Amino acid sequence: VIVPHSCETMFHLVEHCEDYPQFLPWCAGVEVSERTPQTTRARLDVNYHGLKTHIATLNHKTEPVHLTLKFVAGPFEHFHGDWRFTALGGEGCRVELAVEYSFSHRSVEAVLKPVFGHIVETLVDRFVEQADRLAGARPAS
């Protein structure tokens, strides 16, 4: 998606996971166990309509253009994500998110696939809405 915000603004929103519970309705809590200029290790607690789980990732970052999410713990067999932020001059930036995942068991997949499908499908929009709020702009309708 193309947004009227800088790469730095969007990168900071994504990287600063401590703020997720303020604007991601499914995020019940966050624990950051390590943060350096190159990496962030964190655990997100998910509560989506009473369905609770967590995901822990080790994120490698190149500020303000790229953030890679590597799976540490949670209900997945495999999880990998890439955020990319491309500057578009004075027009803002392009925000891209690619996520690949598979669940650890079929029973877990049956319950959590719709939840994570919804989260992934709406994630970029939630960050854009938060950037708009912080900038004092009205979200596009």
Nearest to 78 by CA among 116, 118, 124, 123: 116
Per-residue pLDDT, 46: 94
At residue 20's C-alpha, the angle toward residues 17 and 21, to 5°, is 135
Q: What is the pLDDT of residue 110?
A: 86
Lookup: tokens for 89: 């001059």
Q: Would you say 109 and 116 are in contact if contact means Cβ atoms under 8 Å apart?
A: no
Q: Identify the H or E element spanning 123.
A: helix 106-135
Could you read off the pLDDT of 56-90 as tens digits, one per residue? 999 999 999 999 999 999 999 999 999 999 999 88
Helix (H, G, I), strand (E, B) or coil at 63: coil
Q: Which residue has the higher pLDDT, 108 or 131?
A: 131
Helices (H) and strands (E) in the chain, counts: 3, 7
Exposure letters 1-40 (e unless 16+ CB within 10 A, then b): eebbbbbebbbbbbbebeebbeebebbbebeeeebeeeeb
Structure token pair of residue 53 = 């789980």
Q: pTM higher than 0.95 for the full model?
A: no
Two tokens at 15?
A: 């990287």
Q: Which two tokens stand for residue 97?
A: 């998110």
Residues 11-47: tens digit of each pLDDT: 999 999 999 999 999 999 999 999 999 999 999 999 9
> Residue 117 — pLDDT band, cuts 50, 70, 90?
confident
